[in-house]
Structure 1
Amino acid sequence: MRPLLALLAGSLFGTGLFLSGMTDTTKVQGWLDIFGNWDPTLAFVMGGAILPMAIAWRLTAGRRPLAATAFPARPDPVIDRRLVFGSVLFGIGWGLAGLCPGPAVASLSYGGLGGLVFMLSMLAGMGVAPTIGARLDRIAAAA
């Protein structure tokens, strides 16, 4: 049951990314270009994701999901050095490539060589991130 629900949810998510334009790198870069030819339409996509999720957090309190033992815990609201550093790296990659992880996966079927290079680079970055994070933690502890 879980794999079927995951396939359904992933397919719905990928379809939504495609229909909203989140897999179109020029549209995403237009959203990020606030001092140039700014395209504000993706604000509606983000709002359309944030608002239902905020409601879902409220509605799931004290409930149990159909295909799991519990809902994921709410993220820790602490803003620390690692969060800021990761956010900056994410933003740089998003601005340069016009893709983030979800749309990158959704665009693999038609993204050509550029989408594949982005995906391989993202996976390599995810692979080395724990090592770099541990090294940064050791540097911060020594300082």
Structure 2
Amino acid sequence: MGYLAGLLFGLGLAVSGMTDPARVIGFLDIAGAWDPTLAFVMGGAVVTTFVGFRLAWHRGDPLFGDVFHIPTRRDLDGRLIGGAALFGIGWGLSGYCPGPAVASIAGLSWPLAAMLLAMVGGWFLARRWS
């Protein structure tokens, strides 16, 4: 099921144009040629997540698993805030977040390769500091 969910997610990113870093950069360029496409994609994701969580909470057991894996932590710490800041900086500089970056591997370019290498390096650093 994880594979199918990832495939559906990647297809959604490709169909919505979010694998094009120019769309993301255009969304962040609020003083220039602003592109609102990302806002609509995020809005669709928020609505889908809202409905999905409500359905999951009303269901006794998952269809394809033993338990639901729903986040329970509600606190903020320096690691979370620092990681979110690094994510945002990397996203703004490259125009890619991890999902669209992986979905764009078929059209690999030097900027995409640099972003993917930085992302993998960040994973290793995060594991080392944990």
**TM-score after normalising by structure 1:** 0.81
Matched, 1:76 2:76: no
Q: Which of 87, 93, 111 pairs up with 1:90? A: 87
Per-residue deviation, residues 54-105 of structure 1 (Å, max 9, x unmatched): 1111111143222211121224222222221111100000000000111111
Gapped runs of 5+ residues in structure 2?
A: none
RMSD: 1.6
Q: Give me the whole-angstrom Cα distance separating, in 2, the residues matched to 1:99 and 1:78.
A: 27
1:26-105 correspondence to structure 2 within 5 Å: 26-61=22-57, 62-105=59-102
Q: Whose Rg is larger? A: 1
The number of residue pairs the alignment matches comes to 129
Matched, 1:12 2:8: yes
Return closer, same or farther for 1:120/1:53 CA change in 2, 3 Å cut-off: same
Per-residue deviation, residues 6-41 of structure 1 (Å, max 9, x unmatched): 332222111100111111001101111222222112
Q: Give me the whole-angstrom Cα distance separating, in 1, the residues matched to 2:45 and 2:26.
A: 19
**TM-score after normalising by structure 2:** 0.89
Q: Which of 111, 115, 129 pairs up with 2:112? A: 115
Return closer, same or farther for 1:19/1:75 CA change in 2, 3 Å cut-off: farther
Read off the aligned partner of 1:29 and give its amino acid letter. Answer: I
Q: Give me the whole-angstrom Cα distance separating, in 1, the residues matched to 2:114 and 2:122.
A: 12
Q: Give me the whole-angstrom Cα distance separating, in 2, the residues matched to 1:63 and 1:103.
A: 33
Gapped runs of 5+ residues in structure 1?
A: 135-143
Q: Percent identity of the aligned residues?
A: 47
Q: Give me the whole-angstrom Cα distance separating, in 2, the residues matched to 1:129 and 1:7.
A: 25
